[in-house]
Structure 1
Amino acid sequence: MNLARYCLTNAEPAPDKTALEIVGAGGGLEEAWTYGKLTSSVLSVAAGLKNTGLKAGDRVLLRIGHSVDFPLVFFGAIAGGFVPVPTSAQLAARETSSILSDSGARLLVHDGKTEIPDNVAVLSLGPQGIDFLKQYAPGTFAETAADDPAFLIYTSGTSGMPKGVLHAQRAAFARRPMYQGWYGISSSDRLLHAGAFNWTYTLGAGLMDPWANGATSIVYDGPRDPDIWPGVIEGSDASLFAAVPSLYRRILKYGKITSDSFPSLRHGLTAGEALPARLYNDWKVSTGRELYEALGMSEISTYLSNGPTVPVRPGSPGKPQEGRKVSILSETSNASLFAEANEPGLLAIHSSEPGLMLGYWNAPEETEAAFRGEWFLTGDRARRDEDGYFWYEGRADDLMNAFGYRVAPEEVERVLATDPQVSEVAVTAVSVRDGVSLITAFVVPRDADTFDLERLASRATKDLADYKQPKSYRLVEQLPRTASGKIRRQALISMKPSSS
């Protein structure tokens, strides 16, 4: 089983059928790729990468922004039997250096626009190198096995250090329960994803799944002002639209939306953040269309959802997709393994789930700690009602959710703490309105009279991706701690800024 071959050939699409469209403002077509051209180019990249001397299983770090080169190199690496390591274009050089070192990548491929560390110690291919890869004669798909490594993605860990999540070649095949359990997709669909190519949400829901069903994937490349999205959805003739809840909220607020808007759209899809019941109802009333939510994570992708076959209950991400073995484990160690109906507990997935990661990269102890017996602990708390619907109850750890990205407060704190004017700092997400939270830094300054907030914010801008940077700062006299000295993050939220 080869993940790239499965995605590009599973539906046996006609070679001249459109697989990918890149559209601009108003949904105007800027670039189009047929299945034949896309498959040929992916196999060319696979052959080119092999010619660099890479061996099967070698990691390839991708520092490519929002262009078609990203999926070409990502799927090309998998097609060749190598392991791509996709990264957000927003990462700073410091963050990239950490991932490069931890992954043990033997090749770095960059577009000349994204930040990369100075003096990279591995082979590096820039923009001309990418063009060179695409000019190779197409090779063949590597004969990889279902459990062979396919790709490695980095996500925030509870320690604040990004950790690698290694997925197998079977990962795309294991996404099949989403096809009807969430999307309701067919080969005639045109799925528009609002995210960038290098986001894992886009790679899965925006590329892997549409292609595996022989549908057309549409990706937007243009200004991100919220009022442009109705025109993009309508102009591209999208039948499905995928985004995070915060974008749906902004579309309703800034766009002129009625039930006559985007007539080709059948329904919307959302994941990455919890969908507030109020936002769902506002969208349904304004557009007359459904908005189907899914709950997932980097380690498995989505596993709970509502969709055409699972009626929406506003506020709930739905039920386990067909074939998924999902449960709520008791939070009390001396109690029975499973929680009772409507009892909050730890959301868990059985280890037999084929979409579950192979493990955390080079972290066997952390991988083992993520399981309770045969159950993988997602880090989320939830409850299940009598009808089988799951209700999200928040994180069981301190990880924050910033517009669909998981962010560890410790990582942000480490960067801010390097500023000499900071005595102590703690970070948490603070709700500003229904469904919207901002990463907020609570800072104890060494000298409140001379403290320079702009200087601290500049440090965050330099060393953290935009989505990790605090959007609010509060100066406080001290941080709330437990008797053992741990920061009480919930207590931070109610803290008032110091009067000095």
Structure 2
Amino acid sequence: MKLLARLPVLRSFSVPGVPYRIKSSSGVASLDSADFEALSRDVPEHFNFAGDVLDKWSQREKDGKRAPNPALWWVSERGEEVQWSFEELGLLSRKAANVLSSVCDLHKGDRVIVILPRIPEWWAVTVGCMRAGIVFAPATVLLTAKDILYRLQASKAKSIITNNALAPLVDSVASDCHFLKSRILVSEDRREGWMSFHDLLRAASDKHQPVKTRSQDPMTIYFTSGTTGYPKMVEHSCCSLGLGLVPAGRYWMGLNPESMIWGLSDTGWIKFIFGSVFAPWTQGACVFAHGKLQFEPTTVLKVRISSSSLTTFSRSPGASVIYVLSHLSSYHFKSLKICLSGGEPINPETMEHWKAQTGLEIQEGYGQTETTMLCATLTGMQVKPGFMGKPCAPFDVQVINEHGNPLPPGEEGDIAVRIKPKRPLGLFTNYVDDPEKTASTERGDFYITGDRGLADEDGYIHFIARADDVILSSGYVVKAFIILTPAYQSHNTEKLILELQEHVRKVTAPYKYPRKVEFVQQLPKTISGKTQRKLLRKKEWGEA
């Protein structure tokens, strides 16, 4: 199947035989309602992203029909660089597929947990899984032993791939994981009970035919953040991300084979694979990544934003605030054209500061672990501070009431996606082993996102809050409001804050600790005694 000939294109890069039309008005690329339907209707019966997309770009490289950008450009903390062409990515991922299938005895549909930082091996492993039809479940490197145990038991994963830092935690819980058959260590060091990924990769054959996977076969599982309970397992099919992110890559990120995108996100969150695998590589663009685990704005600015290569930059709103405070005006933005923000609403003042210091607008996007890009401010669209943009193909996004009926502009309701008469491409398959939770997300003809919002007269969507009032900040950052008992009211508050933060790190996970702490006399309560977190949020944002 000549998949690349079927993908949509924009302006400078032309491939014949696109499956739907591109319309342009004042430089804005868009799709009409018929094109929405085509995106879901024309899904092929079989689809394997590694074979049907990546291998096609590899062939274009060999034929001299692609810009001489690498597919992956990675820089370590020490400044060491790795650049892989699509051909090199293909070779290494074929070897990885052989390691997983031949040595680890994993087969189509088997599950593997992947806990790696931003290192080149992460891409080799995940693409290798795609080739072999193995379902991979990425996870953040900030997990605790308890988190790892839950994920191994819930997923029934037969293998886990991680590094030296996480291997001891895996060993501490492995005896309780009866499905776990193999442990693979990505390190030059050796560890008892673990196989060396590097040794296996060097010895593996580079001959491998992609497994013939159906478009609706499972490809990956992502665990939700688990803010209100145990994390849910969100399953995506082979086509939902690989084809469902085509519009985001082209129309939101503005990518083509001459582009380079840098997305700042943890490998364990689905946003990472959005911006560092599927969206850019459907367009033949270069993915840039930096290996530094801890976020440092000065490093980011000096390394790539002011370089001559970067064209698209994506990060969380929390990071945006830090950039503004880092005196952006002292840096030169040579090739940067598009700045993206997703994961939570961005402060309008931050957007204004960013534009004043860089000359560039921030284009917001909105999606979930369960979806691809639902809404966005596409390239060329008017930026409306406070609004996430308009619905993106192939989603029909509406704000609905409790009866499942769309609401008029300006009225608050549930942000929802139409799933009948046909479920759109890009939506998750189900919550694994939880049919009741899966069914609870449906209301009439719609999938309920769990977010509240409203639409304006122009169709832009404004996010208000989670329906269950979950606190969102930088993906997984919160502020704690704490009432002190009399015994602690005389304590040194700065020392107490540090002790509380350390306690949360130990009993939950390092990434869940509150970055900000405020001691208060009382918390706002409802009549039933529930804390009104919405009022706390308004107080924090100066709206009370």
Q: What range describes the TM-score normalised by the shorter chain of this pair?
A: 0.7 to 0.9
* CA contact 1:42–1:72 (8 Å) conserved in 2: yes
When structure 1 is superposed on structure 2, of 214-223 and 338-347 the one drifting more is: 214-223
Whether the 8 Å contact between 1:438 and 1:470 is mirrored in structure 2 is yes
- Which residue number in structure 1 is paired with residue 94 of structure 2? 43
Q: For each residue in 1:206-253, what CA deviation from the matched residue of structure 2 results, as whole angstroms up to 9, or x when unmatched?
A: 222211111111112236321233222123620111111222222221
Structure 2 residue aligned with 1:126? 185
Return the alpha-carbon distance in structure 1 between the equivalents of residues 71 and 411 of structure 2. 45
CA–CA distance in 1 between the matches of 2:249 and 2:119? Answer: 26
Partner of residue 50, structure 2: 4
Which residue of the partner structure matches residue 33 of structure 1? 84
Percent sequence identity is: 26
Once the two structures are overlaid, the 10-residue window that deviates more, 286-295 or 109-118, is 109-118
Q: How does 1:257-296 map to 2 (within 5 A)?
A: 257=329, 261-296=332-367
Unmatched runs of 5 consecutive residues or more in structure 1: 406-436
The corresponding residue for 1:162 is: 231
1:251 counterpart residue number: 323
Distance 1:316 1:493 in 2: 18
- SS of alignment partner, residue 201 of structure 1: helix
Corresponding residue of 1:339: 407
Write the distance in 1 (CA, Å) between the matches of 2:111 and 2:137.
7
CA contact (8 A) 2:260 2:287 kept: yes
* 1:312 alignment partner in structure 2: 383
1:440 aligns with 2:480: yes
Classify the secondary structure of the residue corresponding to 1:242.
strand
Matched residues in 1 for 2:197 and 2:486: separation?
A: 48
TM-score, normalized by length of structure 2?
A: 0.78
The correspondence of residues 326-405 of structure 1 with structure 2, limited to 5 A, is 326-331=397-402, 333=403, 337-351=405-419, 352-405=423-476
2:155 — aligned with what?
103
Unaligned regions of 5+ residues in structure 2, if any?
A: 1-46, 63-67, 187-194
Q: 1:93 maps to what in 2?
A: 145
**What is the aligned partner in structure 2 of residue 181 from structure 1?**
251
Aligned partner of 1:409 in structure 2 is none
Q: Return closer, same or farther for 1:483/1:256 CA change in 2, 3 Å cut-off.
A: closer
- Encode CA deviations 1:162-185: one digit per residue, 9 max, x unaligned: 111000001221111213331121
The residue aligned with 2:299 is 228
Contact 2:73–2:289 (CA under 8 A) maintained in structure 1: yes
Distance 1:200 1:493, change over 3 A: closer
Deviation of the 1:493 alpha carbon: 5.9
Q: How far off its partner does 1:95 sit?
A: 1.1
Normalized per residue, the structure richer in strand is 1
| Alignment partners' CA distance in 2, 1:354 and 1:56 | 22
* Count of aligned pairs: 460
Query: What is the DSSP-based 3-state SS (H/G/I as helix, E as strand, rest coil) of the residue aligned with 1:355?
Result: coil
Asked if 1:14 corresponds to 2:61, the answer is: yes
CA RMSD, aligned part only? Answer: 2.7
Q: State the secondary structure of the residue aligned to 1:462.
A: helix
State the alpha-carbon separation in 2 of the partners of residues 368 and 397 from structure 1. Answer: 18
**Match 2:215 to one of 146, 151, 159:** 146
Q: 1:236 to 1:43 in 2, by over 3 A?
A: farther
Q: TM-score, normalised by structure 1?
A: 0.85
- CA drift at 1:450: 9.6
